[in-house]
Amino acid sequence: MEEKQAGRQEWVRAEGNTATSVHLESKGAKTVMPDRNGDRNLPRFAVLGAGHGGVAMAADLSLRGFSVSLYNRTQERIDPIIARGGIEVDGEVRGFAHLDLVTSHMDEALAAADVVMVVVPAFAHEWMARECAPHLRDGQIVLLNPGRTGGALVFDNIFHQKKVQAEVIIAEAETLLFASRNVGPGQSKVFRIKNAVPVAALPATRTREALQQINAAYPQFIPAANVLKTSLDNMGAIFHPAITLLNTGWIEARMGEFEYYLEGVTPAVARVLEAVDAERMAVARALEVRAISAREWLEMAYGAVGDTLHEAMHNNDGYSGIKAPPNMKTRYLSEDIPASLVPISSLGDYLGVPTFTIKTIIHLASTIHGVDYWKIGRTVKTLGLDGFSVAQVRKLVEEGRKAVH
Residues classed as catalytic: 240, 336
DSSP 374-388: HHHS--TTTTT-TT-
Instruction: Read off φ and ψ for residue 5, nearest 5 degrees.
Output: -135, 160
CB 246 within 8 A of CB 272: yes
- Report the interhelical angle of 151-161 vs 125-132 (nearest 10°): 40
Q: 186-212 burial, b for 16+ CB within 10 Å, e for fewer? A: bbbbbbbbbeebbbbbbbbebbeebbe
Within 10 Å of residue 118's Cβ, how many Cβ atoms?
28
- Give 70's contacts (C-beta < 8 A, 6+ positions apart): 46, 47, 50, 54, 55, 58, 78, 81, 99, 101, 102, 103, 109
d(CA 137, CA 139): 6
Q: In angstroms, rounded to a whole number, what is the distance separating the alpha carbons of residues 258 and 26?
A: 33
CB 12 within 8 A of CB 85: no
Q: How many angstroms separate the Cα of 234 from the Cα of each of 41, 173, 238?
A: 32, 9, 8
Q: Could you give the CA distance from residue 92 to residue 192 in angstroms, rounded to a whole number?
A: 6
Are the C-beta atoms of 353 and 282 separated by less than 8 Å? yes
- 87, burial (CB in 10 Å: exposed 0-12, middle 13-18, buried 19+): buried
Alpha-helix residue ranges (DSSP H) falling in 25-150: 52-63, 75-84, 106-111, 125-132
* Distance, CA of 99 to CA of 108 (rounded, Å): 14
